[in-house]
Amino acid sequence: MKDSSRPLFSECSRLLGCMLLIVLMFGCQSLIFDPRGHRVPESSWIELHPSGDYSGTWNKQDLSLAYKFVRNQNQLRISGSIQIADRITNSFFIIQYFHLDAIPVDAQGKVLNMIGLTSAANVNTLFDHCLDFSTTLTLPSNTEAIAFSYRGRAYGTEHGDIMDFWEYPVY
């Protein structure tokens, strides 16, 4: 006598497996984060004038960014020099990766976009003291200010330590 429950069990387990896979895939979509529409606190803004040029320094615990902006309506020419903080460069030999973004915001601090400014990999902290960049951005028409976001990883101590560092002002 054949066991007729075996094919039914096999079909049910296959169906259950497919359903779990679909649920997992939809659940992982939340990991793909689009910051547009979220907010940046006003304390993180750098106000942008409709036109003209100006410069400043943005200081964080992990780095210092000396920047220069030249804005003409929706075009923003931005150049800068990034100095990684001594607390990182004195402790780690290599910046494995570093990425800097510009975050244009409207008058209420709503994120309009996230634009990559520069990326670097395998930066030797003993010889490469600054990361320089220059680019032109096309800003959304209602941009009132800009914020910065960065992420990086340093490694290379005698003990193989790794340090991740970041600034992400979006909430």
Q: What is the pLDDT of residues 90-132, one digit of tens each?
A: 999 999 999 999 999 999 999 999 999 999 999 998 887 799 9
pLDDT at position 150, please?
A: 98
- Cβ-in-10-Å burial (0-12, 13-18, 19+) of 149 comes to buried
Q: Give the confidence band of 66 by pLDDT, cuts at 50, 70, 90.
A: very high
Q: What pLDDT is recorded for position 127? A: 82
Domain 42-167 has CATH 2.60.40.1640: yes
- The model's pLDDT over 135-170, given as tens digits with 9 standing for 90+, comes to 999 999 999 999 999 999 999 877 889 999 999 999
More confident residue, 2 or 76: 76
Q: Give residues with Cβ within 8 angstroms of 134, minimum separation 6.
A: 77, 78, 79, 80
Tell me what the mean pLDDT of segment 37-55 comes to: 95
What is the reported pLDDT for 2?
55
Q: Please tell me the predicted confidence (pLDDT) of residue 126.
A: 81
User: For residue 50, how many other CB atoms are within 10 A of its CB?
Assistant: 10
DSSP letter for 107, please: T
| Average pLDDT of the segment spanning 44-53 | 94
| pLDDT at residue 81, rounded to an integer | 98
* Alpha carbon distance 23, 13 (integer Å): 15
Q: What is the pLDDT of residue 31?
A: 44
Provide mean pLDDT across the span 58-64.
97
The whole-number pLDDT of residue 29 equals 44
The reported pLDDT for the residue numbered 83 is 96
The answer for residues whose C-beta is within 8 angstroms of residue 55's C-beta and 6 or more apart is 66, 67, 68, 69
For all residues of the chain together, what is the average pLDDT? 87
Flag whether the pTM goes above 0.85.
no
